[in-house]
Amino acid sequence: MTDKILIVEDEMSIRELLKFNLQKERYTVVEAEDGITGVSLAKSLLPDLILLDLMLPGMDGLDVCRTLKSYQATSGIPIIMLTAKGEEIDKVIGLELGADDYLTKPFSTRELIARVKAVLRRSHKDSQPDGELVIGRLKLNFSRYEVYIGNEKLELTPKEYELLKLFATNVGKVFSREQLLEKVWGYEYYGDTRTVDVHVRHLRAKLANDAVIADAIETVRGVGYRLSDAATVRKS
């Protein structure tokens, strides 16, 4: 799955330039011409990265940044601010607001791609098992062994937690019951594979107040289970 990048920029020529160069690097590109559209696309598509122009008509880049950082599902999405020369103060404000980096126009293609890659690399590292993983409204905190749906903390047993963690860190990948027994219960466990079914059922029940996530733990007939890609795309 390629990384999805949302461009929020009102100048068509810059938008086209960004799109062209990002697509050449095989990123999936989504565009918004103004801040309000940008916020709504960010919420519905949960892109991997947002390139956000500072000076936008109506809702400007700072407001967009502030809004996205205050909304749980989008707060973890890295943002690179696009600024014009001479907007030094705004740059700093942008970074204080949680923007991850900035690019000053005019920028070279090389600089753009280097920054994009660096920010994505950093953000993917953050979602590795010693930090947090956010999938739609679902959030796993690996160091505290905590799971949240929105602001609500879920009470999971250690095995339910391990199962969910395995699914969540391997979205789309199907695991057989035997593999799940091996990975979650350990090699020494020679249990009945129905143990897995029971735990998955309990896990789904606990996730049921978020129908998208609960339904996303799919039974793949004759194979096993997986967390479907649907979990990563949440309409709001």
- Counting contacts by CB under 5 A, is residue 60 touching Ca ion? no
Provide the greatest CA pair distance for the chain: 66
Distance CA 108, CA 189 (A): 56
- For residues 11 and 182, which CB has a smaller minimum distance to Ca ion in the complex? 11
Q: Kindly state the smallest distance separating residue 41's Cβ from Ca ion, in Å.
A: 17
Q: Which is nearer to Ca ion, 15 or 206 (CB)?
A: 15
Residue whose CB is nearest to Ca ion in the complex, by number: 55
Candidate segments 7-15, 30-38, 43-51, 137-145, binder of Ca ion by CB under 5 A: 7-15
Decide whether 58 or 129 has the Cβ nearer to Ca ion.
58
Instruction: Determine, following the binding rule CB under 5 A, whether residue 53 of this chain makes contact with Ca ion.
Output: yes
Alpha helices, DSSP H, located in 25-169: 35-45, 61-70, 88-96, 109-126, 158-168
Number of residues that this document lists for the chain: 236
**59 counts as binding Ca ion under rule CB under 5 A:** no
Range in contact with Ca ion (rule: CB under 5 A) among 23-31, 50-58, 109-117, 148-156: 50-58
d(CA 82, CA 53): 4
Question: Closest separation between CB of residue 26 and Ca ion, Å?
Answer: 26
Q: Which stretch binds Ca ion (CB under 5 A): 53-61, 66-74, 108-116, 161-169?
A: 53-61
Would you say the C-alpha torsion 205, 73, 139, 213 has a positive or negative sign? positive
Handedness of CA 176, 179, 183, 186 (dihedral sign): positive
Beta-strand ranges (E) seen in the chain are 4-8, 28-32, 49-53, 79-84, 101-105, 132-135, 138-141, 146-149, 152-154, 175-176, 217-220, 224-227
Residue 10 found at the interface with Ca ion (CB under 5 A): yes
Query: Which among 35-43, 52-60, 208-216, 225-233 is the span making contact with Ca ion, rule CB under 5 A?
Result: 52-60
In whole angstroms, the minimum distance from the beta carbon of 86 to Ca ion comes to: 14
Beta-sheet strand order (sheet of 146-149): 132-135, 138-141, 146-149, 152-154
Binding Ca ion (rule: CB under 5 A), the pick from 17, 28, 43, 55 is 55
Candidates 3-11, 27-35, 107-115, 148-156 — which segment interacts with Ca ion by CB under 5 A?
A: 3-11
DSSP 57: S
Q: Which residues bind Ca ion (CB under 5 A)?
A: 10, 53, 55
